[in-house]
Amino acid sequence: MIASEDIGPQWSNRLNRFDVSRSSLSSGAEVLASWLSDDVGSKSAAQAFIRKLNEAAATNFGGYVGAGNSFHVRVASGRTFIENQFVDGQSVLLKIEDAIALLMEYGKFLDDARRGQSLPPNPIPVKFEMEGSLAMEFYLSTGFPLGLIKRSW
């Protein structure tokens, strides 16, 4: 099953720009919004993840891709698995190409996030296949470990 929804903008006084809103989202979309805001956070970091995911897709790599403040990112069987390190069950599974599209949209969102409160950026469309324990079960069924795999990016 593929779920799709939009992550909308929300003004942040702390950042003095728009950030992604986490309200009124499904569990999977909330994980993605939190990952973008808390871990990715910048256009350059989004581009670095895009490079890693493209390489993983091109080489059929499976395993650990990276982490930030709160989330681990892994790939397996053409999918990206994103898991909150601190909250059990906060995980999501999406196709690698959907994760790349999400990161590209986030870069555009950030470009427009500083235009001022009266000009919000467009919402970010997200698509994912599974959330919560189903996402974890799928990742574990691939046989790739949850721990680190030595890889030179």
| Contact criterion met (CB below 8 Å) for 18 and 10 | yes
Q: How far is CA 39 from the centre of its chain?
A: 9
**Predicted pLDDT of residue 153:** 45
| Contact criterion met (CB below 8 Å) for 83 and 137 | no
For 86-109, how does the pLDDT look when each residue is reduced to its tens digit (9 = 90+)?
998 999 999 999 999 999 999 999
Residue 134 has pLDDT above 70, yes or no: yes
Distance CA(82)–CA(131), nearest Å, equals 9
pLDDT band at 149 (very low <50, low <70, confident <90, very high): low
For 43-73, how does the pLDDT look when each residue is reduced to its tens digit (9 = 90+)?
999 999 999 999 989 888 888 888 888 999 9
**Predicted pLDDT of residue 96:** 96
**Among the listed residues 64, 75, 70, 77, the one whose alpha carbon sits nearest the alpha carbon of residue 30:** 70
pLDDT (average), residues 73-94: 93
Report the chain's mean pLDDT, rounded to a whole number: 91
**Predicted pLDDT of residue 64:** 81
**Predicted pLDDT of residue 143:** 84
Instruction: Return the domain boundaries, the chain.
Output: 3-141
**Predicted pLDDT of residue 141:** 92
**Predicted pLDDT of residue 69:** 86
User: Which of the pair, 119 or 61, is modelled with greater confidence?
Assistant: 119
Distance CA(16)–CA(46), nearest Å, equals 20
**Predicted pLDDT of residue 67:** 83
Q: How far is CA 42 from CA 2, 32, 51, 113, in A?
A: 27, 15, 14, 11
Strands 130-131 and 3-7, by their bridges, are unpaired
